[in-house]
Structure 1
Amino acid sequence: MESYYTEEIGKTREQWPDEAAWMVGGRKSGWKDIEDRLGQAIWQVNDYQRLAKEHEDEWRVIATELEFTITLGGVEVYGFIDQLRKYRDGRVIPVDLKSGSKLPGNAQIQLGTYALAVEQLMGIPRPTEGIILHLGRPATAHGKEKPSKDHSYDLTHWTPERLGALYAQMDTAERLGLYLPNPTADCERTCGLAQYCMVKGHVPSAEQYERKA
């Protein structure tokens, strides 16, 4: 794992040699961030193994990186499901792994899409539950260890019709070149598009927002 990580960092450095422009986690140098992320990744792998061992009598992973293409609202949706778990009671549940410090705000949309993909790929009833496995973090000088933890979401709300309408709306907006800002407290630190955003005080060029033919 360490050699793979180092190799990929090397490829990135060749493509973008200006490390000062790299996005980092927190207020630290690029090199420190690279070092910290490797240590965290190794810890998370070990902690995931702990979690899987603790629940080996409850569930097992039957697929990883499951590729799918489905159509929702006339839109072709392509993706990968991190994990499929099969529980002792027969349930098959899609699982998405998150390594960031915060849970995503759109988890139900993502997991609901996965549930529909599972139904179509496996020919089984659509799962009504999805899981975000929030990978933990090792102890630091500023905080205690946070073990990896499952977060379950009820997906009964996310029917094919509801998701189809949402994807159709997103597709229409994209075709019209309508990209609405969604400002949060993380805009400056983690958003790669902040330099183009009118909300942050930047004036976009005409070409940036030119409508597609």
Structure 2
Amino acid sequence: MSVTMEERAEAYKTKPRSVSQAKQYEQCPHAYFLTRIAREGELQAAWLAQGVAVHAAAEAWEKSGRQMALDDAQAEFGRVYTRMANEALEAEPDEEGWQASGPYPGFTDLERRWSIGREQVESYVNWYKTHPEETVWKSADGVPAIEQRFDVTLDGVHVIGFIDQVIEHPKHGPLVRDIKTGQIPAMTDTFQLDTYALALQEQHGLECSAGDYWSGKTGRPSRVRRLGSAAEVVDRFKAMDEGVKAGDFSPSPAPEICQRCPVRRSCRYDVS
């Protein structure tokens, strides 16, 4: 039995929230509506497969106790990348339905990111091989914090997600780390890391006052961010939650936003 758009809109009023939902809603509520409720067709993008595949390789390598051979980690990247690329090509065989990356059209970008992703996996393994002091934090039951799931309620808002890594840093103590294969957020944008730190405190009683991003572009962690207040995290989730419940999906058109929007073909406010 098919679900109507009205039924999905009603269901989204009580769905768990996430960092990606909150950031998309803050950037453009109408894009949130078109993507998640109207379910409009999205443009495919090669960087999505690259990101997921690098994460999968990093997770496999970490869960091997950092003993997996580089070739095997790259093979894991290849398996995931190939599967996702084939699925995306089946869903959208026309290059017009793919997002370009700078001067690279969609299919060219898909080919080149195979090599870029393999190089990023190699950089990831090499970083931790040469920095073994940056170990993975383990919860009380001995489980390494790799793709650590969290499920918390923040002032009445149900928030879920996965934390890429929690690192026992020799200088900063427990530190939340997210793997980025593309551009990393600005120093002032700590919302994702702040959310993860708050979730760790809520679920494990772990205090994290710092976070960073492992950058695939540089092959090393970013500068460490001092994390913000828990109150700001809660306020942002509450504002997003209230907006969705109120049906407020106003557009926020701007060239820099619309150019990267996967549902711009279906948006009458597109200014890309």
Q: So what's the TM-score if we normalise by structure 2?
A: 0.62
1:66-87 Cα distance to aligned partner (Å, 9 max, x none): 1111111311001000111112
2:136 to 48, 58, 61: 61
1:128-170 Cα distance to aligned partner (Å, 9 max, x none): 111122221xxxxxxxxx4433231111x322x3322221111
Higher-strand-fraction structure = 1
CA distance in 2, matches of 1:199, 1:23: 15
CA distance in 1, matches of 2:251, 2:223: 28
Higher-helix-fraction structure = 2
SS at match of 1:198: coil
CA contact (8 A) 1:134 1:151 kept: no
Does 1:96 find its partner at 2:178? yes
1:42-77 Cα distance to aligned partner (Å, 9 max, x none): 0011111122122213x2123211111111131100
CA distance in 1, matches of 2:91, 2:270: 30
Q: Partner of 1:154 in structure 2?
A: 226
CA distance in 1, matches of 2:171, 2:104: 47
1:179 to 227, 249, 263: 249
CA contact (8 A) 1:133 1:151 kept: no
Shift in alpha-carbon separation, 1:153–1:182, aligned structure 2, 3 A: farther
Q: So what's the TM-score if we normalise by structure 1?
A: 0.77
CA distance in 2, matches of 1:165, 1:190: 27
How many residue pairs get aligned? The number is 187
Give how far 1:16 is off.
2.5
1:22 to 98, 115, 128: 98
In structure 2, give the amino acid aligned to 1:18: D
CA distance in 2, matches of 1:15, 1:53: 39
Q: Partner of 1:200 in structure 2?
A: 271
CA distance in 2, matches of 1:187, 1:164: 25
CA distance in 2, matches of 1:25, 1:118: 35
CA distance in 2, matches of 1:181, 1:158: 28
SS at match of 1:190: coil
Unaligned residue ranges in structure 1 (runs of 5+): 137-145, 202-213
1:78-121 Cα distance to aligned partner (Å, 9 max, x none): 10001111124682111111111x22257411111100111123
1:36 to 107, 112, 120: 112
Q: Partner of 1:133 in structure 2?
A: 214
Does 1:165 find its partner at 2:252? no
Quick one: percent identity of the two aligned structures? 27
Shift in alpha-carbon separation, 1:97–1:107, aligned structure 2, 3 A: farther
Q: Which has the higher contact order (CA 8 A, sep 6+)?
A: 2
1:186-208 Cα distance to aligned partner (Å, 9 max, x none): 3343222334152629xxxxxxx
Shift in alpha-carbon separation, 1:165–1:178, aligned structure 2, 3 A: same
Please tell me the root mean square deviation across aligned C-alpha atoms, in Å.
2.4
In structure 2, give the amino acid aligned to 1:104: P
CA distance in 2, matches of 1:187, 1:169: 20
Shift in alpha-carbon separation, 1:147–1:197, aligned structure 2, 3 A: farther
Does 1:108 find its partner at 2:190? yes
Q: Partner of 1:71 in structure 2?
A: 153
Unaligned residue ranges in structure 2 (runs of 5+): 1-76, 138-144
